[in-house]
Amino acid sequence: MSASIVLGTQWGDEGKGKVIDILASRADVVVRSQGGNNAGHTVANNGQTYKLRLIPSGILYKDTLCLIGAGVVLNPKDFLGEIEGMQARGISCDNLKIDPRAHIVLPWHIELDGLSEAFRGGKDIGTTRRGIGPAYMDKYERSGIRFYDLIHPEIFAEKARATGRLRNEIITKVFGGTPVDIEAMIEEYTEYGKRLAKYEGDVSVLTYEAQKAGKTILFEGAQATLLDIDYGTYPYVTSSHPVSGGVCTGTGVGPKMIDEIYGVAKAYTTRVGKGPFPTELFDSTGDYIRDKGGEYGTNTGRPRRIGWFDSVIMRHAVRVNGLTGIVVNKLDTLAGIDTLKICTAYKKADGTIITDFPPTLEGLEGCEPVYEEHKGFNDDISGCRSFEELPEVCREYIERLEELCECKIKMVGVGPDREQIIERD
Ligand code: GDP
Ligand code: IMO
Ligand code: MG
């Protein structure tokens, strides 16, 4: 019996899906607490690759209960498409439950996401345009539509008419956009509601009961620490709480039930979308890593920005999340680079050295990464299954990251497949 969180420590796409899939082989329940279909989690098993957006990454195990908590924003149309896609590949989605409190992403959210981004001009956030920000805006403004409403046609129609009218005023009169056909939308989404009704379940209760019954529970983070609405690089962030604290509010569980908090990182750093990225590479090494690591968005296909491993953001992630362990993925991708760099601190414009990640963009402005250099490696490490099998330079690199992050590195990823992991301890 245990409860663990797996979350992102950088700017997303650290390989959380893979880690969840690995740990799910020993778990009974996997729970998503926040975010929506802005996530893209890849699970690779035996030559088969699955890209999940809303369905928890425990779905490949037929007996694992997969829960979607109150803190998630759910796009019903996309979610049904995802279920159908999995079913077409022989994966059963019968073990899914959605909390009635989860908010629904509707067409006007998607429309408003695109219109707001366009309105920001060159200062756009680079969102996934999945309507995530506008859906959370409605939730906090207390005019959102929840999963419970969606699966009760009369309530849904009434609420959709009430809030849709105002959203259309904003779309047309503020932005000059095309209004949503509310009646057609109600008809279409009522059908989705009917198909999804069987998945309703109180995730707070289900998780609590599972824990009381001695089950093993995994909480699957989406996005990442530096994309957190408070602890990320605001405003270049997402609209939810991907940090460990978000698990409690997003699922309806207390903090004392959590035993382990794994922070997933890459052996370098990536970011998709706009915003500060101190260790970003603009040279051929960045291109090499992007090509070798296939660094293109799982969800949107956008090329990911690439940079060196940044221990300043990692220490921030260790502190903000209370990490008990780190997983470093994609060490294999660094093979073939002569010299590896690790950022140990930032140097401010006035020459001061700082080791804590600044809380504001203004504080980050003018900060230059301070690097130390490590010898690279050429070996193909994708077949290594124990830490001892890794070449000495790789072991030294990982041990140095561990020292700088001030947290134990418990797993090292050497390839995308669920087998390609080295567990330490
Ligand atoms: P997530 O959003 O955190 O679940 O990560 P994504 O799935 O968006 O992106 C991670 C990518 O890296 C996927 O294509 C994974 O298949 C791949 N991946 C994960 N771990 C490793 C690893 O250790 N080595 C390599 N080469 N690829 C990995
Ligand atoms: P996973 O779970 C990487 C980024 C977007 C943009 C910002 C805001 O796969 O790691 P949003 O659509 O959420 O309003 O966009 O957040 N972003 C992600 N980047 N991985 C993700 O998810 C992301 N989800 C959102 O690119 O910069
Ligand atoms: Mg991803």
Residue of 34, 225, 238, 304 to test ligand 2 pocket, by largest number of atoms within 8 Å of CB:
238
pLDDT by residue for the chain (425 residues), tens only, comes to 699 999 999 999 999 999 999 999 999 999 999 999 999 999 998 899 999 999 999 999 999 999 999 999 999 999 999 999 999 999 999 999 999 999 999 999 999 999 999 999 999 999 999 999 999 999 999 999 999 999 999 999 999 999 999 999 999 999 999 999 999 999 999 999 999 999 999 999 999 999 999 999 999 999 999 999 999 999 999 999 999 999 999 999 999 999 999 999 999 999 999 999 999 999 999 999 999 999 998 888 999 999 999 999 999 999 999 999 999 999 999 999 999 999 999 999 999 999 999 999 999 999 999 999 999 999 999 999 999 999 999 999 999 999 999 999 999 999 999 999 999 97
Angle, CA 390 vertex, CA 387 and CA 393 arms, to 5°: 115
Q: Is 415's C-beta closer than 6 angstroms to any atom of ligand 1? A: yes
- Give the atom of ligand 2 at the shortest distance from the alpha carbon of 129: 12
13 is catalytic: yes
Ligand 3: centre distance to CA 391 (Å) = 29
Our answer to whether residue 332 is catalytic in this structure is no
126 Cα–ligand 1 center, Å: 21
What spacing in Å lies between the alpha carbon of 332 and ligand 3's midpoint?
Answer: 18
Distances (CA, A) of 177 to 41, 109, 128, 164, 172: 32, 13, 19, 14, 5
Shortest-distance Cα residue to atom 12 of ligand 1: 15
